[in-house]
Structure 1
Amino acid sequence: MLSTGALRAHLLETRLAGEVATTREQSLRSYRLFAAGDPRVTLGLDPEWAWAERDLIALMADKCGVSADPAQVTGPDVIDPELTLAGLDAFADRLGEAAGRRAPVLFGTGHPHRLLGFYADLADALSAAGCPVLTPAQGRCVDITTRFGVRTYNLVYVRRVALLREPGTREHGGNAGAHTHSPLPVRVALAGVAAARGPLPELVVGDHGWVCGAGQLGIDAIGLADVNDPALFVGEAEGRVSLAVPVDDAVRSDCYRPLTRYVLNRACLSQ
């Protein structure tokens, strides 16, 4: 088993927590855009409360450990590793609860290059524990508005984790899938469940729009979130996202393997 101390050291060494690659300037820009209601950063969440930039800084200081001083506007941002560890403990507990009742679960990621392996290993473990891991709307088209205009992607599943991929491409040459913040993929997936009259997921696990989009629709949703993704933490504060774990979501994919081992051990799902 990976000890808490060893995982803390790993978080700091790989910059998953502690001083992270995201800059203070990037975080503050995201907070300003969220306060303005920009859909690129609201990620499918429709906030019930009015969130000014100063409110978001205070929230992110509490949830992630960033500086609470609005006058600090430059330099690297930070994530308190103790908050990450506490979040991973709660994340593992939620997975253990889902496994205990063999709940239907849906996995999806907007960060397939980085986080696909993390979610796929969790999906394997939950499936082995008897949870139906859902793969609805396989191959369905999803139109995403980008800065280059509307682009069409396909919803695909790799090891039972949903992601977007450009039509006509396969997983080769480093093409793991498309990076997206959009909530449209989870909406398409849930519409596919409804059309097939299958069981709805009792838990959605992922990031970005997968978590916020599901939470906005009233589905239990948990996932990972970086310091420049305030929507997940706002959703948690407002009670629509069940859990957001603060962690850098864009480091090398192999850096997340110790997190997988830690979570599965705590959830009693190690195989």
Structure 2
Amino acid sequence: MLSTGALRAHLLSARLAGTVATTREASLRSYRLFAARDPRVLLGLDPGRAWSERDLLRLMAERCGVSDDPGQVAGLDVIDPERTLAGLDAFAGRLADAARRRSPVLFGTGHPHRLLGFYAGLADALSAAGCAVLTHAQGRCVDITTRFGVRTHSVHYVRGVAMMREPGVRAPGGATGAHTHSPLPVRVVLEAAVEAGGVLPELVVGDHGWVCGAGQLGIEAIGLADTDDPALFVGEAEGVVSVAVPLDDAVPSEHYRPLARYVLDRARLSP
């Protein structure tokens, strides 16, 4: 088993926590946009109350460990590794509950180049524990607003994890899959499940719009989030998201493997 101390050291050395690559400027910009209810940062969440920039800074300091000083407007953000560890423990607890109940689970990521392997390992373990890992809407098209305008993407599953692909686009290194914050994919997948008369997930695991979009629809959702993604932490504070784990969500994919191992150990699931 991977000890808490060993994982803490890994979080710091891989810059998943501690001083991370996310800039203070990027985080503060996200808080401003969230306070203005910009859909690009709401990620499908419909907050139950008004959140000011100051409210969000306090919340993110509490949930992630970033500085709560509004005068600090530059530099790199900081994530408290103890908060990451606590989040991973809670995350593992939800997975253990799902395994015990043999709940149907949906996995989806807006960070396929970084987090696919992390989620795929969890999907394999839950499947082995008797959970149905859902794969509705394979190949279905979704129009998503991007910085380049509205682009058509399609739903694809790799090892039980949903992601979006843009036809004809391949990322450097041959990786396929689009980075997206949109909640539209999870809505399309759930709609397809209803149309097919199939099973709906009792738990959604992922990030970005997959988590907030599902949570807003009343489905239990857990996920990972960086300091410039306040929506998951607001959702957690309002009871819409069950668990939001603070960490840098854009480090090289191999650095998330120890996290998967730790979570599966804590959930008592086979890798």
Segments of structure 2 that go 5 or more residues without pairing to the other structure are: none
| Residue matched to 2:163 | 163
Contact 1:154 / 1:165 at 8 angstroms: preserved in 2?
yes
| Residue matched to 1:261 | 261
| Residue matched to 2:213 | 213
Identical residues among aligned pairs (%): 78
Aligned-partner Cα distance in 2 for 1:167–1:62: 41
Are residue 56 (structure 1) and residue 56 (structure 2) matched?
yes
| Residue matched to 1:20 | 20
Segments of structure 1 that go 5 or more residues without pairing to the other structure are: none
Residue pairs, 1:101-116, within 5 angstroms: 101-116=101-116
Q: Deviations over 1:8-41 (max 9, x none)?
A: 0000000000000001111000000100111110
| Shift of residue 208, structure 1, vs aligned partner | 0.1
| Shift of residue 269, structure 1, vs aligned partner | 0.5
Contact 1:261 / 1:270 at 8 angstroms: preserved in 2?
no
Contact 2:169 / 2:176 at 8 angstroms: preserved in 1?
no
* 1:154 match: secondary structure: strand
Contact 2:105 / 2:205 at 8 angstroms: preserved in 1?
yes
| Shift of residue 174, structure 1, vs aligned partner | 2.0
* 2:174 match: secondary structure: coil
Q: Deviations over 1:180-232 (max 9, x none)?
A: 00000000000010011111100000000000000000000000000000000
Give the structure-1-normalised TM-score: 0.98
Q: Deviations over 1:34-76 (max 9, x none)?
A: 0011111000001111000000000000000000111111111
| Shift of residue 148, structure 1, vs aligned partner | 1.6
Aligned-partner Cα distance in 1 for 2:50–2:190: 28
**Structure 2 residue identity aligned to 1:40:** R
| Shift of residue 270, structure 1, vs aligned partner | 2.0
Give the structure-2-normalised TM-score: 0.98
Q: Say which is worse superposed, 145-154 or 199-208, in terms of deviation.
A: 145-154
**Structure 2 residue identity aligned to 1:155:** V
| Residue matched to 1:251 | 251
Residue pairs, 1:46-195, within 5 angstroms: 46-168=46-168, 173-195=173-195
**Structure 2 residue identity aligned to 1:104:** P
Aligned-partner Cα distance in 2 for 1:3–1:225: 23
**Structure 2 residue identity aligned to 1:106:** L
Q: CA RMSD in A?
A: 1.2
* 2:223 match: secondary structure: strand
| Shift of residue 175, structure 1, vs aligned partner | 2.5
Aligned-partner Cα distance in 2 for 1:34–1:235: 12
Aligned-partner Cα distance in 2 for 1:173–1:244: 30
Aligned-partner Cα distance in 2 for 1:171–1:133: 27
Q: Say which is worse superposed, 67-76 or 246-255, in terms of deviation.
A: 67-76
* 2:227 match: secondary structure: coil
Q: CA 1:172–1:30 in structure 2 vs 1: closer, same or farther (change >3 Å)?
A: closer
| Residue matched to 1:197 | 197
Aligned-partner Cα distance in 2 for 1:85–1:101: 25
Contact 2:41 / 2:231 at 8 angstroms: preserved in 1?
yes
**Structure 1 residue identity aligned to 2:126:** L
**Structure 1 residue identity aligned to 2:54:** R
Contact 1:165 / 1:177 at 8 angstroms: preserved in 2?
yes
